């Protein structure tokens, strides 16, 4: 978490947005624009760029705004209004930017304005960072492109650890950043088998406690932790009864995201 927060800070301090000024900003869907025509008060209004990239304006009808800068749109509108007005002067101001949404295991989920270039890590930083149970290497960006839904996967923990910004993803308007909960599963002879949130440092014994403890049929010295490591299945054996008997917590196993604990039934 500390490395992630440091990385976010460095991104803000050192990696200033590409579009530092509104004049360089390219309009997109959901942007709200205040349009003023000099000495033509009846034409002044606030419009919103449609999902298709257009705005509607009196006398001009539909105008494509997506992909244009402020000056380009002002010039386009002024040129069109010349058919109706003498020397029209158009001023465009951005009153509200299009948004992206951050949901799931972040401290402040919600919609955030997309001002210029924004990456997944920066968006999570705006949402005040991960919660304790966030699956930091399983972040997903859900995007609609050309009418089709697309999902991108981002391994934030790896990016922060290695400082490799090239693996971060630049967001587009309407993107949804989803941070799932990091979980482990407890099965077999426990009172409440199921999935449980993985909080930092959670051990096998603690997870079994979260699952209500052993049933009377549990084989307490043959507990297994099934894990996938570097693409390969791995099984760890934990003698819970012996750990409790000796009081030696060093024999317990710290869990990782996706681990499955299996408590077999005792044959005797």
Q: What is the pLDDT of residue 166?
A: 87
| Confidence check: pLDDT of 249 > 70 | yes
| Confidence check: pLDDT of 78 > 50 | yes
| Confidence check: pLDDT of 79 > 70 | yes
Residue 11 in any domain: the answer is no
Whether residue 54 sits in one domain with residue 67: yes
Domain hosting 60: range is: 31-96
| Confidence check: pLDDT of 70 > 80 | yes
The number of distinct structural domains making up the chain is 3
Burial (CB count within 10 angstroms: exposed 0-12, middle 13-18, buried 19+), residue 85: middle
**In terms of pLDDT, which residue wins out, 28 or 257?**
257
Q: Do you know the residue count of the chain?
A: 268
CATH code, domain carrying 88: 3.30.1950.10
| Confidence check: pLDDT of 2 > 80 | no
Identify whether the C-beta of residue 183 lies closer than 8 Å to the C-beta of residue 197.
yes
Identify whether the C-beta of residue 219 lies closer than 8 Å to the C-beta of residue 237.
no
CATH code, domain carrying 213: 3.10.560.10
Residue 10 in any domain: the answer is no
Distance of CA 72 to the CA centre of its chain: 33
For residues 57 and 205, give the distance between their C-alpha atoms in angstroms, rounded to a whole number: 66
**Cα dihedral sign, 21-27-30-36:** positive
Burial (CB count within 10 angstroms: exposed 0-12, middle 13-18, buried 19+), residue 137: middle
| Confidence check: pLDDT of 253 > 90 | yes
Q: What is the pLDDT of residue 38?
A: 97
**Counting runs of H as helices and runs of E as strands, what totals does the chain give?**
6, 15
Coil, strand or helix at 165: helix
Where among 44, 75, 96 does a domain terminate?
96
Q: What is the pLDDT of residue 22?
A: 63
Task: Give the pLDDT mean for 237-245.
Answer: 95
Task: Give the pLDDT mean for 98-115.
Answer: 90
Q: pLDDT for 5-53, tens place per residue?
A: 444 444 443 333 333 336 777 888 888 999 999 999 999 999 999 988 9
| Confidence check: pLDDT of 252 > 90 | yes
Whether residue 205 sits in one domain with residue 189: yes
Percent of the chain with pLDDT over 70: 91
Q: What is the pLDDT of residue 161?
A: 85
The Cα angle at residue 102 between residues 30 and 16, in degrees rounded to 5 = 75
**Cα dihedral sign, 25-30-31-37:** positive
Q: pLDDT for 185-240, tens place per residue?
A: 999 999 999 999 998 889 999 999 999 999 999 999 999 999 998 889 999 999 99
Q: What is the pLDDT of residue 114?
A: 84
């Amino acid at each position: 978490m500390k490395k992630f927060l440091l990385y976010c800070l460095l991104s803000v301090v050192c990696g200033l947005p590409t579009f530092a000024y509104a004049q360089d900003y390219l309009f997109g869907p959901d942007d709200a624009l205040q349009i003023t025509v000099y000495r033509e008060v009846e034409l002044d209004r606030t419009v919103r760029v449609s999902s298709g990239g257009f705005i509607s304006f009196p006398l001009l009808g539909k105008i494509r705004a997506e992909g244009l800068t402020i000056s380009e749109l002002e010039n386009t509108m002024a040129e069109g209004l010349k058919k109706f007005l003498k020397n029209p002067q158009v001023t465009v101001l951005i009153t509200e930017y299009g948004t992206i949404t951050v949901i799931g295991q972040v401290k402040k989920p919600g919609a955030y304005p997309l001002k210029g270039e924004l990456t997944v890590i920066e968006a999570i930083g705006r949402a005040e960072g991960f919660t304790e149970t966030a699956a930091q290497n399983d972040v997903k960006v859900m995007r609609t492109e050309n009418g089709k839904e697309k999902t991108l996967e981002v391994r934030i923990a790896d990016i922060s650890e290695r400082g490799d910004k090239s693996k971060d993803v630049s967001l587009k308007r309407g993107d949804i950043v989803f941070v799932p909960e990091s979980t482990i599963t407890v099965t077999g002879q426990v009172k409440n088998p199921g999935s449980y949130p993985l909080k930092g440092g959670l051990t096998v014994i603690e997870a079994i406690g979260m699952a209500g403890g052993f049933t009377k049929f549990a084989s307490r010295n043959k507990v297994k932790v099934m894990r996938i490591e570097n693409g390969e299945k791995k099984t760890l054996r934990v003698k819970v009864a012996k750990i409790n008997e000796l009081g030696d917590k060093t024999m317990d196993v710290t869990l990782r995201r996706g681990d499955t604990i299996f408590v077999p039934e005792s044959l005797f």
